[in-house]
Each structure stands twice: as structure tokens, then as C-alpha cells.
Amino acid sequence: MGVVIESEVWENNQPLSIFIFVSCLLSIVCLPQNSSRSSTVFDQSLPSSLLRFQRKFLLVFCSASVMEGMWSVFGEYEMAYFGFNKDQMVSSLIIGSASALFVGTFLGMLSDLIGRKKVSLLFCILHLFVAILKTIFSHPSIWLASVCLSLATSIFLFSFETWMVVEHDKLGHRLDSLNEMFWLMTFLESASLIGSQVFANWFISNDFEKNMLSPSTFTSLLSFISIIFITQEWKESPPSTFNEYQTSFKTHIFHDKRIWLLGWAQSCVHFSVAAVWILWAPTIVGDGREVNLGLIYPCLLGAKMLGSTMFPWFINGPLSIRTEDCLVYTFITSGVILSIVAYDYQEIGILVGLFCLFHASIGLILPSLARLRTFYVPNELRGGMITLSLAPANAAILFCLIQRGYNKSIENSTIIAFGGIGLLSAAVCMHFLKQSGKQSPHQNFHKH
């Protein structure tokens, strides 16, 4: 007599998605009536040139975020469709991480030297090249695509923020409107990633190779439109010479311990986010139950959106506190969350809740770090500082991928624990940054 074993299916709580959506909406709608801010990106009292740039920039930024999201959502499915095994997928991740470490580290400096416009165009060209490659060849080199997309991601992490800050200075910088742009970029990036999931699911069919509206075709269109816009709309001033840049970089970056503290905190955030995005799905399904990960994905990004909307409340609103203090508490919270996850607790509902809280913390951390860079980093060095601060994280990611993917000498929970320890160390860095700020007040490199 045969025994039938029924698989248990876990479904995430639908009210969670509704709660996150309503919370984001209320946070945005209610904040202007409860904040001392003098203006927002939607305020018509802003100078017309600045307001026009902000809206066009956010449109291009959303387009770039969708391009980034199409690969993160569609990439694993595509590799599995073409018959790539687990080892080949791990190899592509390792090659991408190595590219980000050995080439991506210097792209920020290159951007500062040759101009941010050229490097931002390179971001679009890399996505366009990969999309055309996938359209022409049904089975393109996944390693070539991995290198190009990893370099594009490295550019995405610094290029748009640097572009936005520089243009604000040229158009008459206002610190309050710049703070608005920081959290809006985090908010819209997450919203665009959710949109990329919707587009990817819509385009994919049982025989997507014959589908004219494929993800690659869509990405090509977005890349081409972005290239046209950046070429026509963005005028930048000549960059500094190499000798001037080298001298300034040594003075303001290498010889300033506050930049080292800020850079280490950024590196810890980058590593922990990468670790969570690689491992959240294997962690959740670790007990063998069937889970619809496609429904959990937007919840995580929605939580990040909610965290980003809390930034104005803590910076300029009724809950206003010093940025470093805000980051100390948030880093400790996110570090404790990952420490709990590292114990490999297998109740899916609790894990989903913890991952949502983690992403909400990240949503608050990212614009806060961008705000601190405004105080401590000159515009002409911002790109180089960001990519240099990401180098330790990329090295750690590469090490963990090799040890876990090839040698099997490290567990998933250990990698997540490393992320938690890194975030706790970032909290210590923010504490020391606050203490140094008391001795030497903020040096804002931007106009008011």
C-alpha cells in the first residue's frame, strides 16, 4: 500500500502587503503637515530649473532601476531555462563579484576624472549591449553578461547620486530639497524593482525566445531612451586634472578619519544587503515547505520603501535627531535582526517578518549615509569615495562565494552572521563619527 505525502504550502499574510502599502501612503501624505521642511520636490515654489531637473532625473533614475531589476528578477530563471547548473550559476556570481572588485572599484574615480556623463552613458551602454546580445544569440555567454552587468551595477551605486548632487550645486543647491531627493531615490528604486518584477512576469511566456516583447527587448528600449535623454539634457563642466584630483583625494579622503568611518559603514551595508539578497530565499525555504517567493519579494521592497519614508521624519520632522544618532540605533537594530536570522530559525513567518524589518532599516540607512556624504565629501571626490568604500565589501562577497560555492567550508548562516557583525561595527563607527563631529563640526561642501 502506497503512502502519499502531502507537501505543506506556506502563504504569506496578505494583510502584510496592505499594511506596508497603507503605511507608506500615510507616511508620505501626512509628513508635510507635520514637518518643518520649507519645500519638497513637489513644491512649485522651487526654482523652475531645479524642479525641472529633479523630475527629469527621477524619471531616468526609475528607468535605470528597472533595467537593474530586470536582471535580478529574470536572471536566475533565464540561466535555469538554458540549462545552467548550480555550479555554473555560482561561477557567474563569482566572476561578477571579481569584476566589481577589480574594475568597479576604480569606476568612481574614473567618473570624477572624465565626467559623470560619460560613465552614466556607459551604464546604459552596458545594459544595451547585454540586451542586444541576448536578443541576437539565444544562448549568449553568461560570463560576459555577468561581467557587463556587474560593472553596470557598480556604476549604478554611485553615478546617479553623484550626478544629482552635482546638478543641485550648479542649479542653486538647497539642502532641504537635496534631502528629499535622497529618500525619494531609495523609495523609487524599490518601487521600480517591484515594477521590473511585474514586467518580467508579463513578458515571460512558455516560449519566451519567440516573444517579441521579451525582457531583453524591453531593456534595450529603456537603455536607448536613457542614452538619448542623458546625451541631450545633461551639460557638465570640465572635470579636474589627474594631479589636482590625486592631491585632493589624498587630502580629503585618505587623511580624514571621518571618511574612513563613513566608508566602513557603507561597506558593511553593501555586504549585508548582498548577503541577504543572495540568501533570503534559501533561508526561508530551508525547512522544505513550499513558498511563493514571488509574493514575498514585493513585501521586502515595500518594507524598504516604508523605511525610506521615515527618513524625513527623523531628519527634519517632529522626530528630528542627529543623523549619526539615527544611524547608530538603526545599525544596531539591523545587526540584531541578522544575528537572529543567523541562528537559522526555521519558522517562515518570523523569518519573513525579520527580513522585512531589515529592509525597512536599510531604507532609512541609505539616504542617511548619502546625507552624511554631503557633509564630509566634496563633489569632485564623491564617486571615487563611494566605490573605494565598497571595495572591502566586494572582497568579502567574493571570499564568501568561493568558500560557500566551491569549498563548502562556510554555511549560509555564518555569512549572514558576518553581515550582522558588520552592521554592529558600523554602529560603532557612527558613534565615533558623532564624537568627532562634536570636536570638529560638519564641514558642508555644498551651498545653501
Over residues 350-377, the pLDDT tens digits come to 888 899 999 999 999 999 999 999 999 9
pLDDT band at 32 (very low <50, low <70, confident <90, very high): very low
Place of cell 570638529: 440
Alpha-carbon distance of 294 to 125, in angstroms, equals 29
Residue of 299, 311, 322 whose CA lies nearest to 184? 311
Q: Check: CB of residue 387 under 8 Å from CB of residue 105.
A: yes
- pLDDT for residue 1: 40
- pLDDT for residue 424: 97
> How much is the average pLDDT of 186-207?
80
Whole-structure pTM value: 0.90
> How much is the average pLDDT of 54-69?
90
> How much is the average pLDDT of 56-63?
91
Residue 422 has a CB neighbour count (10 Å cut-off) of 24
Residue 383 has a CB neighbour count (10 Å cut-off) of 27
pLDDT above 70 covers what percent of the chain? 80
pLDDT in tens, 212-268: 457 788 888 999 999 998 887 777 766 678 888 888 888 888 888 999 999 999 999
> How much is the average pLDDT of 173-181?
76
- From 16-20, 122-126, 166-170, 178-182, the region with the lowest mean pLDDT: 16-20
Amino acid identity of residue 129, one-letter, is F
pLDDT band at 289 (very low <50, low <70, confident <90, very high): confident
Burial of residue 428 (number of CB atoms within 10 Å: 0-12, 13-18, 19+): middle
Alpha-carbon distance of 184 to 21, in angstroms, equals 16
> How much is the average pLDDT of 178-196?
90
Residue 281 has a CB neighbour count (10 Å cut-off) of 14
* Strand ranges in 258-370 using DSSP code E only, listed in sequence order: 290-291
Computed over its alpha carbons, how large is the radius of gyration of the chain?
Answer: 22
Q: Check: CB of residue 376 under 8 Å from CB of residue 258.
A: yes
Strands 290-291 and 9-10: parallel
